[in-house]
Structure 1
Amino acid sequence: MDWPLTLRTAMVDGDLTLRPYNPVRDAPALFEALHDPIVWQHIPGGAPASATALGTRLARRLTGGLRSTWVIDVAEHVAGTSSFIFDPTDDAGLEIGATYLSPPLWGTDVNRRTKDLMIDAAFACGANWVQLRTDERNARSAAAILKLGATELPARQDRWFRTDGTQRISRFFRLYPPDTTPRT
């Protein structure tokens, strides 16, 4: 598949909009929406201490051009973020990850609608598969991924360390375009 994805400037589903992340404008609003430590419980590096620290973290991840980060707006309020992540060593598909959502929206349809928009966009741009991952300890996230219809792959040790110092074990999942046989 070609990278970067050729996407319209925003993806919309009713009151939910995904728009490209703007480091100057979005870091303070994202910090406010995601300031609850529970958001960062399973995230290497833990909670950022300030909007500046969050902006620095997101900017560092955008370095190299292998990530496309999107802000999730609900009813015109910043609610979180998610990213397309490209691995040039396996260019048949991409990962959707680094999804952080304001806790009051957990258990609603916001994550599902966000992922549906992103998955549809990835397949429309030629992806043969979409991968998702979560920490082995994050059962809530794994359940949400499985509800998307994903197939679980073997878990494996990740390169990241948790805030408690243990090396993260990630559960991996894949989705394939509708009406296709899985391809690798």
Structure 2
Amino acid sequence: MTVDRPMLAQPLSDGDVRLELRTEAHREGLRAACAADPDIWDIYPFSMLGEHFDRGFDRIGELAETENWVNFIVLNGEDVVGMTNYIRPGGFQPVLEIGGTYIAPDVRGGPFNRTMKTLLIDHAIACGYRRIEFRVDARNKRSMAAVLKLGATHEGTLRKNRITWTGYVRDTAVFGLLAEEWQTRT
């Protein structure tokens, strides 16, 4: 199967879980969703809280242009509850990362996150991607546990590889999920 990168940029949905391509119209809804958990932003590479929000929102759009990200807004019905991305879909390799994900506390930890990730993974595989990666700040135990529940394998930790917006030099846990592993679990 060949990789169909342009097909990645499609709206996805399953019941009330909806992923739309991010537009300027989503700015204020995402601002409100990001404000629902002010403490979490310390472990993100850049902040989407308060006075940092507009710069962060614009930066995500720039990443779509310069580094080939596909930006999604996450909705629960009609309500914006977060964001997620396909990151650097492989130019010559059928590999991409799912990341830059934030979802509001009221939809975390239950079937919403699983459904959202299932939509993203199924769609990436349908577009020809054979390997999906997740890169998580090693301090974020909840996200690492969620990625493991998806069936991804912890392949190692990159030590002190990224400086966050707070100046913290973080370790990044790298997880991989192969298409054939996902297909045997679903």
Task: Give the alignment's TM-score, normalised by structure 1.
Answer: 0.87
1:124 paired residue number? 126
2:34 paired residue number? 34
Distance in 1 between residues matched to 2:40 and 2:50, nearest whole Å: 13
After alignment, is 91-100 or 38-47 more displaced? 38-47
Match of 2:103 among 98, 101, 104: 101
- CA deviation string 1:145-178 (max 9, x = no partner): 0000001111103642134423221001111113
Asked if 1:165 is matched to 2:167, the reply is: yes
Runs of 4+ in 1 over 2 A off after TM superposition: 1-5, 45-55, 87-92, 157-160, 162-166
2:150 paired residue number? 148
In the alignment, structure 1 segments of 5+ residues that lack a partner are none
Asked if 1:14 is matched to 2:15, the reply is: yes
Asked if 1:25 is matched to 2:16, the reply is: no
In the alignment, structure 2 segments of 5+ residues that lack a partner are none
Distance in 2 between residues matched to 1:165 and 1:65, nearest whole Å: 23
Percent of paired sites with the same residue: 29
More helix by share: 2
The letter for the 2-side match of 1:137 is R
Asked if 1:63 is matched to 2:70, the reply is: no
1:114 paired residue number? 116
Task: Give the alignment's TM-score, normalised by structure 2.
Answer: 0.86
- CA deviation string 1:14-52 (max 9, x = no partner): 111111111x10111101011121231310233433452
State the Cα RMSD in Å.
Answer: 2.3
Secondary structure of the residue aligned to 2:5 is coil
